[in-house]
Structure 1
């Protein structure tokens, strides 16, 4: 099973997670596609409500965003309060804050129930410049306006000068793979199925819905897409979110070098800091997927920044993660257009999946079971479902899709401009023309492969990721291993092999 080249700190130390075999001729009440935090929490809530549930994960559990997150669980989310306030009406901004509080409480309650270690830490959104200070103050005002009890502070526990920060006390950080393992155990204990290594190829919105998978068919009364970017194109949600890749690293540092808190820069490039036991974790330096000439350089920039401020830090692990950002900052959740009320989705967590994954799970179960099933919608769920789209959000979406169009043109022109050469050097890939065909050629572990460079999702030309050693689509964020197999959606089919 293909994986990214750099496993996260959590993935390196995670034990094997017991799963189930794909059932023969199985009909379930709810089939959930995707085994990250959203899919697993949704499955647990349904299973504990007496529903027959099956989770289908294409790769290994934790291989996606959940296993690669820095796992901060916080109601203070950088400048998210100000971002949501500026692109939504006031009622939506308050409802979003309430959704995060509900998710925070549910998740920490589950961790307590399951015996998952949680470190309580103050969260800080900090600045290092005068302009950044203005953003800190704007976030403070926006957070206070929606009831988050933040405070302004002049200094924070970091080894460089700052111009101010917003502080929220008593937030949390944890090991996300421990959370995944506990959720799987709880789902199976409640009678649910969790199956990994099974890729869903198609979903028909019949009655019941029919899932066509790499292991056979499955019928379900309801289907939930919890795959980051939805793997079904109905509703065009792949075009409503922007796929972002960001970087993280773990370091061994002296005890007096470890800050006591969770920190996130309000400026660009974003820089994140937290600890995990005796280790320092730094992160950030993100960019849209497939749109940086050298992702390796972004990881190196993070390492160089860390070395300047924590001299002598010894590297332990480095990795990257993928997130999907909604222009208005609020997740898309609910029924999928043209899904006949049988298919639901959740996407666009804007890098705050630990809480948004839980909040959307709570919403999905409420939507499907309703008051008759003991899940009366909450006020915040009702408000977020009726969220209007403001002109600023429309403008953001137009700009986002204009950038996609530019990358289509850039990719095709570049691919056809020159023929591919010989075998690339180890760990490298290049795109060019093989006759009249756009070709993507890479050499990894001594093996050179030639693939069609056209993304099988919607026809953009892929680019080489020299950090994860993958082919990444700059249009909608699909990613592929060197052999063409799918690492990240929305693509469901592999890249086509052009080699002999």
Structure 2
């Protein structure tokens, strides 16, 4: 599955990795957060390296719907319920700063974007109640939202919130611009370099360990989704969510606004242009990573809904998925990691709103590293766990524990000697251990079905033909190569 953005991405050069080199800061991950942070640090005169295990934008940024919006479904009412209206106002201010910085960067560098109105809409009575709560929270947080029952949608709604003059863009053109700015200021961007660990050394700063050798740095920024090297335990207060998107060619009139439903299953809409073709992008059908059988059915359902409701082609030109992390307290975790010593930072938990939150996090991290200060960041970005957060964390980790037990029980309960059919995978017992067997493009592969992070038993994802961990969201290719963490190494071959 390849996104519209990755398939139409401009070329982004990669530099050579230099084992033994020393930097002021090393940034791990070349998505929006990582490249924005790196560019800001390099502009200050720091010597900075970005180390990316795969390629620029390969994970979340390259698979987002790329809405740069301050209207974010029911996010503000969720924040208010966990914290208070003051924290929600600071969250809006942080996102406003991130949005403004990114649009200004696009204007200064000739990167195109489209100004669009954003809508959150409901189609049920329950959804309308959620929408009214969001309206109240948004108004208290300083957003000029408008309520209406009229939209461009071809089906009736019980209500909609509208926020004018938001934006949508091509995320890979943004990453290309950030990468150029970073490299123009002396930055090193090295793809295909996986960071596997880090340690403090007296007088030498931080040793950053990779599969290709070590480098040293005074500061280390982990912009990797769930942070790797996570002795602070963020994986236990974040729920990894997988959602799907499809781009279908437009054949008639389609909505021009950016739409997001507050009912379940989620439906997200926006337009896009690539290579002279107009597309309608639809997203939704999210679920916890690794806990849904036959994920291809979710993609088919999303495409079918889009075809049934809009003037588009009968098949998707592109279909893909993205991974996001829902924080227990509805706020991102941004700042210095606990229990890892000084000068190791992370940003995670954007709850599917990474375009604004990712840039806001970069502004906060770069200011903290350089000795500056953002008033909104001081109060907003703390790894706080309020009483409601703790209850959510206990519930989510109980689910993780259940997945651990049921995964091992099912993985050890059966054995098979037959290769699964094309595109399918199965976990079976061999010598008392779970083994994953799959067939992709006519080739059958066998790998350990035990996640190297915390030993969860993996499940097969037939939409993306990958092995996914139902505990904390690590994912691996059919042949066992690591796709995304918190694991930091490939699966063992069976």
| TM-score bucket of the superposed structures, by smaller chain | over 0.9
C-alpha contact 1:32 1:56 (8 A) present in aligned 2: yes
For 2:240 and 2:416, locate their aligned partners in 1 and report how far apart those are by CA, in whole Å. 28
For 1:345 and 1:495, locate their aligned partners in 2 and report how far apart those are by CA, in whole Å. 25
Other structure's SS at 1:284 match:
strand
For 1:386 and 1:428, locate their aligned partners in 2 and report how far apart those are by CA, in whole Å. 42
1:476 aligns to 2:477 (yes or no): no
1:255 aligns to 2:252 (yes or no): yes
1:265 counterpart (261, 264, 268)? 261
Q: How does 1:201-216 map to 2 (within 5 A)?
A: 201-206=196-201, 207-216=204-213
For 1:114 and 1:246, locate their aligned partners in 2 and report how far apart those are by CA, in whole Å. 31
For 1:385 and 1:309, locate their aligned partners in 2 and report how far apart those are by CA, in whole Å. 41
1:364 aligns to 2:373 (yes or no): no
Aligned to 2:116: 121
- Structure 2, unmatched stretches of 5+, are none
Aligned to 2:411: 415
For 2:230 and 2:19, locate their aligned partners in 1 and report how far apart those are by CA, in whole Å. 28
Other structure's SS at 1:361 match:
helix
Aligned to 1:444: 440
Other structure's SS at 1:283 match:
strand
C-alpha contact 2:266 2:286 (8 A) present in aligned 1: yes
Deviations 1:294-344 (A, max 9, x none): 111111110111121125524211101111111221110111112221211
Other structure's SS at 2:317 match:
strand
Aligned to 1:494: 490
Paired residue total: 487
Aligned to 1:316: 317
**Closer, same or farther: CA 44–360 of 1 in aligned 2, 3 Å:** same
Other structure's SS at 1:249 match:
strand
Aligned to 2:222: 225
Give the ranges of 4+ consecutive aligned residues of structure 1 lying more than 6 Å apart after TM superposition: none
Aligned to 1:3: none
CA deviation after TM superposition for structure 1 residue 14, in Å: 1.2
Under a length normalisation based on structure 1, what TM-score does the superposition of the two structures give? 0.96
**Closer, same or farther: CA 312–222 of 1 in aligned 2, 3 Å:** closer
C-alpha contact 2:252 2:312 (8 A) present in aligned 1: no
Q: How does 1:89-104 map to 2 (within 5 A)?
A: 89-104=84-99
Deviations 1:25-53 (A, max 9, x none): 21000000000000000000000111111
Other structure's SS at 2:233 match:
helix
For 2:200 and 2:361, locate their aligned partners in 1 and report how far apart those are by CA, in whole Å. 22
C-alpha contact 2:407 2:456 (8 A) present in aligned 1: yes
For 2:20 and 2:398, locate their aligned partners in 1 and report how far apart those are by CA, in whole Å. 45
CA deviation after TM superposition for structure 1 residue 253, in Å: 2.0
CA deviation after TM superposition for structure 1 residue 254, in Å: 2.2
1:184 aligns to 2:179 (yes or no): yes
CA deviation after TM superposition for structure 1 residue 15, in Å: 2.6
For 1:325 and 1:400, locate their aligned partners in 2 and report how far apart those are by CA, in whole Å. 11
For 1:345 and 1:357, locate their aligned partners in 2 and report how far apart those are by CA, in whole Å. 11
**Closer, same or farther: CA 312–146 of 1 in aligned 2, 3 Å:** closer
1:55 counterpart (27, 50, 56)? 50
C-alpha contact 1:27 1:220 (8 A) present in aligned 2: yes
Under a length normalisation based on structure 2, what TM-score does the superposition of the two structures give? 0.97
For 1:76 and 1:238, locate their aligned partners in 2 and report how far apart those are by CA, in whole Å. 27
1:27 aligns to 2:22 (yes or no): yes
C-alpha contact 1:91 1:383 (8 A) present in aligned 2: no
CA deviation after TM superposition for structure 1 residue 386, in Å: 5.1
CA deviation after TM superposition for structure 1 residue 269, in Å: 0.9
For 2:383 and 2:42, locate their aligned partners in 1 and report how far apart those are by CA, in whole Å. 29
1:146 counterpart (141, 144, 153)? 141
For 1:263 and 1:287, locate their aligned partners in 2 and report how far apart those are by CA, in whole Å. 20
CA deviation after TM superposition for structure 1 residue 155, in Å: 1.2
RMSD of the alignment, in Å? 1.1
Aligned to 1:347: 348
CA deviation after TM superposition for structure 1 residue 387, in Å: 7.1
For 2:383 and 2:28, locate their aligned partners in 1 and report how far apart those are by CA, in whole Å. 26
Other structure's SS at 2:351 match:
coil
